[in-house]
A and B are shown apart, each in its own frame.
Chain A
């Protein structure tokens, strides 16, 4: 008999696919932590620009 996972998130993950893109995580892990943050900031700035958010720049 399979044991029920200990934590709430593990119990959900045992039932559904999280949809996490592992290939993106692998690509991120090839970057330094600083590069990962810079990549994310660049993406956020682009999204803000598309929205016309004055905080884009």
Chain B
């Protein structure tokens, strides 16, 4: 997975986004691995257009979908759904319009902090934000992340 390439494309495309999920956990100090980049994006029409354009060069397709299933990647497709799990030429990318426990982009942004990633100022979910999201998601893997967050907060 080329996290840097995806982040560079999002920044260069002027996309409003927050890094969430496993990459945010790792950026905050977790030792866990992740196989995709998860972001929460603004649902503003102009942002959806920028997001669609930024990702187009990586030839995104729906992850896990039948390869024969027609899929048109553009802002209209993004408008028609809230969350997308994508496979791209540089790695898997999950796009979320809302995050359980936090809400839509503005709430997620408020639960993030600017963090230097690969030389760029990037909004990344804080430990508190991750804790709220993981607690709401409530899956087994979220429990392990919550235990890690608790330890990280003590350090």
Residues on A lying within 8 angstroms of B by beta carbon are 7-10, 12-13, 18-22, 24-26, 28-29, 32-34, 36-37, 40-41, 43-44, 47, 55
Q: For residue A25, which residues in chain B have a CB less than 8 angstroms away from its CB?
A: 29-31, 148, 151-152, 155
Partner of B155, one of A9, A29, A43: A29
| Bound Cα distance from A25 to B124, whole angstroms | 18
- Is B116's CB under 8 angstroms from A33's CB? yes
| Chain A facing B: main interface SS | helix
Q: For residue B35, which residues in chain A have a CB less than 8 angstroms away from its CB?
A: 44
Query: If A8-B138, A34-B116 touch, does A40 touch B33 (CB 8 Å cutoff)?
Result: yes
Please count how many residues in chain B sit with their CB below 8 Å of the partner chain's CB atoms.
33
| Bound Cα distance from A37 to B89, whole angstroms | 19
- Is A33's CB under 8 angstroms from B151's CB? no
Sample 16 A-B pairs with CB under 8 A, ordered by A number: A7-B135, A9-B135, A9-B147, A10-B150, A18-B143, A18-B150, A25-B30, A28-B29, A32-B116, A33-B27, A33-B28, A37-B3, A37-B26, A43-B33, A44-B33, A47-B33
Question: For residues 126 through 155 of chain B, which have their beta carbon under 8 Å from a beta carbon of chain A?
Answer: 134-135, 138, 142-144, 146-148, 150-152, 155
Q: For residue B148, which residues in chain A have a CB less than 8 angstroms away from its CB?
A: 18, 20, 25
Chain A nearest CB from B33 CB (Å) reads 5
Residues on B lying within 8 angstroms of A by beta carbon are 1, 3, 23, 26-35, 91, 115-119, 124, 134-135, 138, 142-144, 146-148, 150-152, 155
Q: For residue A18, which residues in chain B have a CB less than 8 angstroms away from its CB?
A: 143-144, 147-148, 150-151
The closest CB in chain A to the CB of B2 belongs to A41
Chain B nearest CB from A12 CB (Å) reads 6
Q: For residue B124, which residues in chain A have a CB less than 8 angstroms away from its CB?
A: 33
The closest CB in chain A to the CB of B144 belongs to A18
| Bound Cα distance from A55 to B91, whole angstroms | 8
